[in-house]
Structures are given as structure tokens and as C-alpha cells.
Structure 1
Amino acid sequence: MVGSLALGAPVAARADEYTDLLDILRVKGSLTQGEYGALKLKHQRHIAEDAAQTRRVVQSTRDTGSPARLRAARNGGTRLASAGHVTGQYATSPDGDVTPVFVDANDAAISAAASARDARQSMLAARAAMHDTSIIRMDNYVPGKGLTFHAGPVDINFSGFVNGFYTYDNAYGKMVAGGTSAGAGGSKFDASAIRNGYLPAGLITKISTRQEGYDIQAVFGMYPGMDNNKPGAMNANSGGSAVALGTPGIDFRQVYMTFGNKKMGTIKIGRDLGIFGSDAILSDATLITLGSIGGNSAPGNTSLGRIGVGYLYADWIPQISYQTPTISGFQGTIGILQPLDEYNFAGGVTNSAGGTDALSAQSTHHGAPMVQGKVTYDFTVGEIKTHLWAGFLIQHQQRLYSSFIPESAKRSATVEAGEVGAKVDYKGFEGLAYYYRGSGLGTTGLFFDGIDPGGHKRDSEGYYVQATYSFNKRFRIAGSYGVSNLYSGPQEINPILVRRNESEVGAVFYKLTDWLQLVGEYSHTESIAHNGNRGKDNSMSAGAVLFF
């Protein structure tokens, strides 16, 4: 048998050096966990083969070696054996000198101890490298969860999405003030657009750390649209402008911080999605489609989805809120939020004197914050997962004014609203039902047309039901129906004000890759006034949504 020979300590030393190298490469992110495991397994197999070869030579040397040759083997036999080759029962150097090679139990013990020390040092070095602030590490990527980097004690996550659709809309009808249908303006037209859906694009940055027992996070969410922006009362969410040389709008919706822990719960300070209506909007299947388009001739940053046709927009509102820990499936959230104006969304009508009378009262003075809260309960029975929630909203509107009441009259009203919802998942099926009711709450947006020109609160209510089914991991369908009703105030006669907005939506989704979904959708939206006027539109859309 002829071959190279590697003995005891040198084998262990090379093994430790190679293992150190693998550990460092894994910590630095140069090797994936799978690559690291495969290389280490292969290296361990080579070590075992070398060790078996060494044992065979040692046994042969014990049978034939003299004391002098054994001492020579201990003192310098390694170099001879490494430089020469093995012939029969002897290790032979290049000059032909036959040198028996023998490693006794003491040498083996010393080698093993050295190997253990080297292994511990390697482990400590790898552990130190993991906490070395000069090394930036990255988590294994999970589609849709963004990219997470670790720089010492700080975690940085980047996530986002991009979407785009071709939409064709056929709109027609009579005037309905405050209607969500594109035909509520009282004219008939067809319109095509390349536009965003219910979501614009998004780029979200989260910076997290743990200090003195507190989990701390800062979040910045930027949401740009693709179509030209034409700022109005709703800023980047106003209607767009299909004129050359325009630029898109950027909606910086999220700027907030959180701190807390699993025992005390979490405190949030900053601008984020409101509490009331948040579960309804986040559970809406049209969130990644368009739903009610709200106008297609000059689209703004977003469509309407089910805003005003099943729920009111939760909105992105400055707030200080507290969320409890989850206890047996229950979790509560309560907060004080920036109070919002009562707003005349429906506009006005021309009076007999040639002036304009507002269809709803307004307010711009707030002596107290808005208060919102909700309770959620999650539980599982067998393969059925259930999410239940209930929420409320209260805000006092002061110094109301309109064409009929001056601000100096100091009229005021307390707005109250409540909501309940349920979502059930069973295998590939998901069903949802949601209902809200308010007094002075209005419709479509918070406090839009909630109070009549005389200063009286209008009642409103709405609901939507939804079902989705996933045939497999790629193909999914969804259908939903929703209604929002706005009732007249006491003794009010307002014939063209919207009484009811409703829509039906059907959509198909195909997941082409982990990032990319193809989407097709049909929606029908109808607005009905108190005098029976109707505005309608039918839209068809096709496009894609990318999440990373």
C-alpha cells in the first residue's frame, strides 16, 4: 500500500483550522447553513479516513519497531512520514531509510486535549464574531418579510411592494352628492388608465433593538404613487392630473416608534393606521387589487377598495396608543388620536339667491383628542382558525358651522361609533363578515358628511361579507359584497345627498413566483341618492403586485 501519511496532532490541527475557517465564513454570511453543513460533513469524513489510515500504520509499527526507531518516530517521524510514503509495515523516507512510526497513548491524549482547546477557541471566536459590531449579518430571506440585517444590537428590516394595473371603466348615471361611484357625477363616459390599485407602492424601514429589557422600534413608511399628483383637500390621496410634465405623489403615511415588552405590552407614539376599522381594511381582499376605482380619467395615488362601500377608511392618524400583551388569545388596544375635522365631502347646491348652500356642517376646533379602541380574540378549534374583533370611536366636534349656523353659535356634537367583525379560516377557505354603526361618523372617510347643515348628527351603518378560496399555493379566487348607508338628520330634506353606496367585486390571483402575483378583477359600484338618483360604474382590471 502506497500513500501519504498524516498523524495525530497535525491532523487535528488542520481539522481545527479548517473548521475555524468554515465558522468564520458562515458568521460573515459567505456560506449558507446548507453549504456550511455539507462542507463540514465532507471534511469530517476525510478526517475519519486519515485517522483509520494512521491506526493501520501505527499497529504495523508496534509489531516490528525497535525502541530507537520508536523514539525517532516521536521526535521527527511525522516529517519523515509526511515527506515519504508507506511501504508494507514501515514509513519510508525519500532517501530509503525505513523508519517505524508509533504514536503511544500519551501522545494521543495530548493531541486530543490540544484539539479540544482549539475547538473551544474556535467556538469562542465564532461567538465573539456574532456579536462583533463591525460585522453586519443577514437573516435567511423569507419571501414577503423583507431583508433583515443585524449590525451589533440593532436590527434593520427593509420591505415593500410595487403594483400596477390596466383598468377600463364604464361609468354613467345621475348626480349623487358624496357617492363613491365614478358615475355619481351625473355623466356618462368610458375611461382607460394605467394606475395603482388600492395600495400605492411602498417602502418600509424598521429599525429595532432591545435595551434594558425594552423592545424598541422606529418605523418609516413611504408610499409613492405612479400617476401624476394634484394636491387637494386629501393631499396625495386627492384625484390625479393626466397632464404632461406632472409628477407622482409621495404619501409618508407611517412615522412612529414603539417600546415595551411581552409582560407590559407595547406603547406606540407617532403616525400609523388608526385603531377603529383597521382589522376591516387589513382583512379586505381588495387590498391588493382595486375594488371601487373612484374615478379613472385622472387617477390619484390609489383606488377606493371598499372605502365607503363596506367600511370607513381607518386612515393614518397621529396617535399615542397602548396594546396589551396577548392573554389566552385576547388582546386590547386603546389610544388617543389627533382629532379630525367634520368635513363637507358632498359639496353644496345653488340656492335661490344664487349662492351655495353646503350639504353638511363642518368644524375646525378640537378641545379634546379622538379616542379609539378595540379588543381581538384569536382561537383555533381543530383546523378552524378564528379571529374576532370589536372596536369603538368617540370624538367631540366643537364650533360647528354651515350655511345655516355660524361658528359663533358654538354648536357641538359628540360622534360615537362601534364595529364588530369575524374572520374564519379552514384549509383553503376564508370567510369574513364585518358591520359598523355610527352617529355623526359619516361615510367613506371619518366625519365625511356626518352632521347635517343644521348641526344634527346623521346616523350611518355598513357591512361587507367576503369569501376567498385557495385551490393550491398559487391560485386563489375572491368575491365580496359591501354596503355603506348614510341616513338623513332630523327633519332634513336633502334629495341629492348619497343614501347608499354598494359594490360587488370578484378577483383571481395567480402567484407566479414568491414575489410576484398576477391579478385580474371585475367590480361594479353603485351610488344612490335620497331622491333615487343613481350613479354606476363597471370596471375591469389586470395587472401585477410584487412584494419583497
Structure 2
Amino acid sequence: MASGKKALVATLMAASVAGLPCAPFSRAHADDYSDLLDILRAKGSLTRHEYDLLLVKHQRHTAEAANAARMQAQVQRPARVASLTPGHHVGGHAGAASAATSSYEPGIRFVSSDDESTSRAERAASKAEASARSAQAAVDMLNSADVVHVAKYVPGKGLTFKAGPVDINLSGFINGFYTYNSPAGGSPVAGGVSGGSSGFDSSSVRNGLLPAGLALKLSTTQEGIDMSAVMGMYPGIDNAKNGAFNANTGGSPVGLGTPGIDFRQIYVTFGNSRIGTFKVGRDLALFGSDAIMNDATLLSVGAPGSNASPGNTSLGRIGVGYVYADWIPQISYATPKYKGLQGKIGVFQPLDEFNYADGGTATPHLSSVSTQHASPMVQGQVTYDGTVGAVQAHIWASFLIQHQQALYSETLSADSHKGAMVEAGDVGAKLTYGPFEGVGYYYRGSGLGTTALFFDGVAANGRKRTSEGYYVQAAYHATKKFKLVGSYGVSNLYQAPGENSPTLVRRNQSIIGAGYYQLTDWLNIVGEYAHTSSDAHGPNSESDNTASAGVILVF
């Protein structure tokens, strides 16, 4: 390198340290020069080429100086110089001796200023170390159990907070609809879901098939076991009225009323992906669960049920395509998923046979009732999720078994110890292809009843009634935000052997069309039309038409 270039580099180096003098190279300070080059390179005062050149020279000179030191008995300390100008040295012969001793080429000098440069370097290093400690402390604080983190929000999945080892998830929904029901006339049908024989139009501001909901879920892992605790509260917006169905009983549109709280979800889970998951508490049962979870009216009204005095929910397709799965106390187990396949089985709180056709009267005339249970209800389910080409498939099948004891009715004495083994099964599938979705579902039961579990499942003579039903549903996403849905469903209840009940419901059915517009990630606007009809085993029948419009917010 020419001496002019060396002078320029030396001047740049001096400017980079803001004019601070540095000690000339000696073996005691062998690393100072390298550190200085690193600082100047980091500050942009040296190009990469200049940095590499000076570093190579420094390494060569270090080696030469070390060899010279071994050959000299005494190390000569260089005289201080007053300038960095090439060839200008203070002390004449001492400067030459310094150059010879240090093995540096003439013109490159670093002036010692006692310990000032070392002190400043140490202070800079201390500040850097303190800054690193502060950064690490901030990281440690963020990772500590004392700080609550917020997971990335996913629309519809709620808000998740992490407090130490515990994930806290809050999710829910709120909906409200204006619903206008117009009866088309007819005669009452015992156990029917249509209100067409009422003779009066009705307006309501009400919930749809879903009430409002707020669910709290706490999740953690301890000793390799994943566990969670879930509590779900589901209030309605209309006044509640005490009755057989608690918060789901028809409402009471009278002043000073208050809504009911349906605390239907209370359970714990524990397990992992290797052994499966156990559930203990109250949650949605297995039989019929996929039928309602894939029903489009879950986000709308469907068949309104009682519209003049609405309760917590409407019917949707309950009783007009499937039997309500219900939220039942249970001890259940779900296997790990294997290639999209999963099995579930559990024991459930047994439910009574209920005389819905007679309005739940104490002296059942059309259907038998029961209140004794020596064994639990058993339910099981198998599901499969997979993809075939561009088609996504969700397929399921489930079963239910329960023994009903001590059946009685107006014509059947409880002393007869009449019993019945209720059996039911279902199968369904949901297929998605591009903007199209299709759902098909079928169920059949013996003693199962219709609309809800064990409603009118056993005749007054103690014999089981057969029931079956189905629904088909098609959806088309016209745009990313707008979806059109149409569905048709039927629930049939057949008379038991030896029975003659002409007023008993034979068929409930409905045709539903709806449009859903997703205004935001949270808010959906819904418009819907439903035609519902009920037919008896005799000549009675009734039907009604319902129009609903409203919103549902899901977070």
C-alpha cells in the first residue's frame, strides 16, 4: 500500500475514534489493534478491502514482533509522537527505534494517552454489556410466568391468553332475529312441531337455534398429560318460564321477566395424542351430534317452535331431520386420530321416556313414561376426515343404547315391570368441493322417539315405536362472503304393534332456504324462509310459514 493511502487510512481511523489517541502496538496490547479495526469496520470508516489488508498486516507484524522480542533481552518502548502524518516523528532516533521494534512501516503511528483510551474502551464495553444484560432481562421477563401473553387471534376461535403454563380461552356468540310466523291452518297434531293450527300470526325478537354463549376453557400440560376445564354458559334474550325443559321451555313475554341461563357445558378432559382423551362432565352427546353441528340452521332460526312466546332457542332442524343430541352428563373416551379416523365411546346419564304428545301430563295417554334406571345410556361414534382429489369429506356414524325400566301409562301399570331396550343408529357425510357443500344424514331408532331423545318412543301399551328421518342440505358460496343454503328434512314416527293413535304425529318436515352474508370476521347477516308441516296418523295436519332476519356475532 502506498504511504499516501496508509496515511488516509490512519486519518480515517483517527477520525472514527473521534480523535482519541491510542497506544502503539506492543505485545501487551496485541488485541487492541484488532478491536479497533472491528470498531472502524462496524462504523463504516473502513471498507472491507481496507479492513482485510490492515488485519493481515497486523497479524504479520505481530508474528515478527514476537520473534524480535525473543531475540532481544530488552524491549524498547517507542517514544510518543505528536502527529499521525507520514514520516513525522517526535524523538528522531527513538522514533526510528520504535519503528524497528514494532516492525510497523514508517508513517503509521498510534499515540498513547496514558490509560485514557483504555478507560474509554472499557466504559464502552461496560455499556454494551449492560445493554445486553438489559435485553436478556427483558426476554426473561417476557418468558416468565408473571407475564400474560396473548396468542394470535383467529376469527371464531376466541381470545387465548397464556399465563405461565396455562392457556385461557374465551369464546362465544350472540344472535338476535326478527321472526314473523304465519300459520297456514289445519288441525292440531299430537307431538307435531308446526304451529299452523293456532290461527294467529306472530312476531317476535328472539334467538335462533343457538342462544347466546360464553365459554371459558383452561388448558395446560402436567407430567405429559394434556388437560382442560370447560364451562359454557348459554343465556337467551327472551324471558324464561319454568317448565319441564328448564331454560328451553317456551318463554313468558310478560313485563318484569328475565332471561334464563342454560349452563349446559361443564366438563374436564385429560389425555394426550398417544393414549387418547377422556372426558368427564356435561357436554354434547355423541349420537346425533354431527347432524346438528353440520346443520346450516345452527346460525339461523329454521322451524321456530313457539314463536308467540319464544324460549332460549328455536328448533332449527330438530324434529324435522334429526333427533336432538342434547347435552348430557357423561364419562367418555376418544381415541387418538389415525389417518383421519377416530372413535369415541362413553356412558351417559340415562334419560326418562317422556310423554311429549300429551304435553307431559301426569297421566300419559298416548305414550309411556319411565323414571327408573338401573344402567347407564351407552353411546359411541366413529368419524373420518379425508380428502379425495379436490373433495374434502367428513363422514360419521354413531349409535345409542339404553334400557328403560318400569314403564307406565294410563293403561299400563308400573307394577307390571314393563321395560324396553332402546336402540338407535345414524350415518352422515359432509362433502366440500370448491364453493359447493353438501350434507346428507339418516337415522333410525327403536324406542328412540322423535324431536328429542325418548320423546314418545314407547306407546301407551309398552311397545316400542320405530322412528327414522333424514335431511339433505346444499350450500353454494356465491362469493367469498355470501353463501346460499337450501335444505329439506323429515322425521317419521311409526305406531307400535297393537297401537291405534290417529292424533299422534306421523311426520314432521320442513323446507328451508337462507342467505348468509359475512359482513366482518365477527358479524354475519342472515335472511331465511322456512315452511314447516306436521301430519298425524289420522286426518289431522297443520303447517306454517316463517320469515326471519337478523345477525349473529361469533368471536
Q: TM-score, normalised by structure 2?
A: 0.80
Cα-to-partner distance string for 1:52-96 (whole Å, 9 max, x where unaligned): 44437x9899876977753339834997xxxxxxxxxxxxxxxxx
Q: Does residue 75 of structure 1 match 2:66?
A: no
Question: Which one of the candidate residues 175, 179, 184 is aligned to 2:192?
Answer: 179
Return the match for 1:433 from 433, 437, 440.
Answer: 440
Establish whether residue 414 from structure 1 lines up as the match of residue 413 from structure 2.
Answer: no
CA drift of 1:377 comes to 1.0
Aligned partner of residue 167 in structure 1, secondary structure: strand
Q: CA deviation at 1:539?
A: 0.4
1:92 equivalent in structure 2: none
Q: 1:189 & 1:513 partners in 2: Cα distance?
A: 37
Residue in structure 2 matching 1:55, options 33, 46, 61: 46
Give, in whole Å, the separation in 2 of the partners of 1:145 and 1:400: 45
Are 1:247 and 2:258 matched, yes or no?
Answer: yes
Q: In structure 2, what is the equivalent of residue 216 of structure 1?
A: 227
Q: Distance in 2 between matches of 1:222 and 1:372?
A: 25
Q: 8 Å contact 1:348–1:356 — kept in the other structure? A: no
How far the C-alpha of 1:382 sits from its partner, in A, is 2.0
Q: 1:479 and 2:486 equivalent?
A: yes
Q: Which residue of 2 aligns with 1:536?
A: 543
Q: Does 1:207 align with 2:218?
A: yes
For 1:280, give the aligned amino acid. Answer: A
Conservation of the 8 A alpha-carbon contact between 2:40 and 2:46: no
- After the TM superposition, list the runs of 4 or more consecutive aligned residues in structure 1 that deviate by more than 6 angstroms: 47-50, 58-63, 65-68, 117-120
| Structure 2 equivalent of residue 499 of structure 1 | 506
Q: Secondary structure at the match of 2:452?
A: coil
Task: Find the residue that maps to 1:236 and give its secondary structure.
Answer: helix
Gaps of 5+ in 1: 9-46, 80-102
Partner of 2:343: 332
CA shift in 2, pair 1:539/1:128, >3 Å: same
Q: Name the SS for the 1:399 alignment partner.
A: coil
Q: Aligned pair in 2 of structure 1 residues 189, 49: CA closer, same or farther (>3 Å)?
A: farther
Structure 2 CA distance for partners of 1:137 and 1:357, relative to 1, 3 Å? closer
Contact kept? 2:178, 2:205, Cα under 8 Å: yes
d(CA) in 2 for partners of 1:248, 1:418:
35
Structure possessing the higher radius of gyration over alpha carbons: 2
For the residues of structure 1 that align with 2:131 and 2:84, how far apart are their CA atoms?
30
| Cα distance in 2, alignment partners of residues 391 and 360 from structure 1 | 26
User: Equivalent residues in 2 for 1:147-162 (5 A)?
Assistant: 147-162=159-174
Q: Secondary structure at the match of 2:46?
A: helix
**CA 1:244/1:48 → structure 2, altered by over 3 Å: closer, same or farther?**
farther
Task: Report deviation, 1:189.
Answer: 1.1
Shift in CA distance, 126/334, structure 1 to aligned 2, threshold 3 Å: farther
Cα deviation, residue 50, structure 1: 9.3
Distance 1:376 1:539 in 2: 34
* Structure 2 residue matching 1:72: 3-state secondary structure: coil
Distance 1:118 1:450, change over 3 A: same
Alignment pair present for 1:317 and 2:345: no
Residue 378 of structure 1: CA displacement? Answer: 1.1
Aligned to 2:357: 346
AA at the equivalent of 1:150: K
**Aligned letter for 1:175?**
P
Aligned residues, how many? 473
Cα distance in 1 for partners of 2:327, 2:364 equals 30
> Matched residues in 1 for 2:114 and 2:45: separation?
13
TM-score (norm 1): 0.81
Residue 358 of structure 1, CA deviation: 1.5
SS in 2 for 1:70: coil
What is the identity percentage for the equivalent residue pairs of Structure 1 and Structure 2? 56
**Equivalent of residue 401 in structure 1, options 394, 401, 408:** 408
Alignment of 1:2-13 (within 5 A): none
What are the superposed Cα offsets for residues 435-486 of structure 1, whole Å, 9 maximum, x if unpaired? 0000000000000000000000000000000011112221111110000000
Q: Does the CA contact (< 8 Å) of 1:404 and 1:454 recur in 2? A: yes
Is contact 1:280–1:421 with CA below 8 Å preserved after alignment? yes
Whether 1:358 aligns to 2:353 is no
Task: Report if the CA contact (8 A) 2:394-2:430 is conserved.
Answer: yes
Q: Corresponding residue for 2:552?
A: 545
Name the CA distance, whole Å, in 1 between partners of 2:17 and 2:531.
Answer: 81
SS of the residue corresponding to residue 404 of structure 1 reads coil
Question: 1 or 2, which has the higher strand percentage?
Answer: 1
What CA distance in whole angstroms lies between the structure 2 residues aligned with 1:73 and 1:484?
A: 99
Determine helix, strand or coil for the equivalent of 2:420.
strand
- Cα deviation for residue 329 of structure 1 reads 1.2
Greater Cα shift, 241-250 or 63-72: 63-72
Residue equivalent to 1:459: 466
State the AA in 1 paired with 2:497: P
Which sits farther off after the overlay, 313-322 or 47-56? 47-56
User: Is 1:524 aligned to residue 537 of structure 2?
Assistant: no
Residue of structure 2 aligned with 1:260, choices 247, 250, 271: 271
The alignment partner of 1:199 has SS state of coil
* Aligned counterpart, 1:138: 150
Give secondary structure in 1 for the equivalent of 2:410: coil
- Does the CA-based 8 Å contact 1:398-1:410 persist in structure 2? yes
| Change in 2 beyond 3 A, CA 1:439/1:137 | same
In the alignment, structure 1 residue 510 sits paired with structure 2 residue 517: yes
